[in-house]
Amino acid sequence: MIRVQREEFDVGAEVARLTRGNHLIGGVACFVGIVRETAGGEAINAMTLEHYPGMTEAKLAEIEAEAGRRWPLEASLIIHRHGRLEPGEQIVLVITASAHRQAAFEACEFLVDWLKTKAPFWKLEETASGPRWVEAERQDDKAAAKWAGQGRDKAAE
């Protein structure tokens, strides 16, 4: 399941909803991204996440399906917020559930790395010196590139 929304989310409620009734699940991995109060040494008052409605949802659904092909997942969820968020607020939630922990961990990391490099979101930070668009980080591309050819075979080892 994927959701793109302005609203806050509740990690515990989402884990409970995703796993309820499926007793094949043995391990659940989650990632929560949170707005930090500094970036590049400068204080951030808030950030605004712009996105590409339509393409965002389509791409999230695609990558979630891809994770399900690569790893034996029982359930997964991606929630990505947009709009204005202040330091300490939750931005993104990824949950992956599998019979065993390794598949859950790997699929979760895969999805987070992918979100950083391919999900059509752009962050505008509010700083004391004015607003500025966050630039993409090359290390995120490196992180995403490591997943080429990874997945079900490796997790099944």
Partner 1 sequence: MKILYFAWLKAKTGAGEEEVNPPDHVTDVQGLIDWLKERSPGHAQALADLSAIRVAVNQNYAGLDHPVKAGDEIALFPPVTGG
Interacting residues with partner 1 (CB under 8 A) = 33, 49-52, 54-55, 58-59, 80, 91-92, 112, 115-124, 133-136, 140
How far apart are the C-alpha atoms of 151 and 130, rounded to whole Å?
A: 42
CB of 2 to its own copies, least distance (A): 19
Burial (CB count <10 Å: 0-12, 13-18, 19+), residue 24:
exposed
One of 5, 6, 36, 65 touching its own copies (CB under 8 A): 36
One of 6, 26, 83, 122 touching its own copies (CB under 8 A): 26
Residue 76, CA atoms < 13 Å, CB-side half-sphere: 30
Task: Point out which span in 12-20, 63-71, 75-83, 127-135 binds its own copies (CB under 8 A).
Answer: 12-20
- Judged by CB, which is closer to partner 1: 50, or 153? 50
Give the strand pairing for 83-85 and 42-51: antiparallel
46 binds, among partner 1, its own copies, none (CB under 5 to 8 A by kind): none
Residue 150 to residues 57, 125, 156: CA-CA distances in angstroms? 24, 34, 11
108 binds, among partner 1, its own copies, none (CB under 5 to 8 A by kind): its own copies
CB of 71 to its own copies, least distance (A): 15
Q: Tokens in use for 10?
A: 């509740």
Element (H, E) at 50: strand 42-51
- Judged by CB, which is closer to its own copies: 19, or 127? 19
20 binds, among partner 1, its own copies, none (CB under 5 to 8 A by kind): its own copies
Taking phi over 0 as left and psi of -120 to 50 as alpha, with beta for the rest, 149 belongs to left
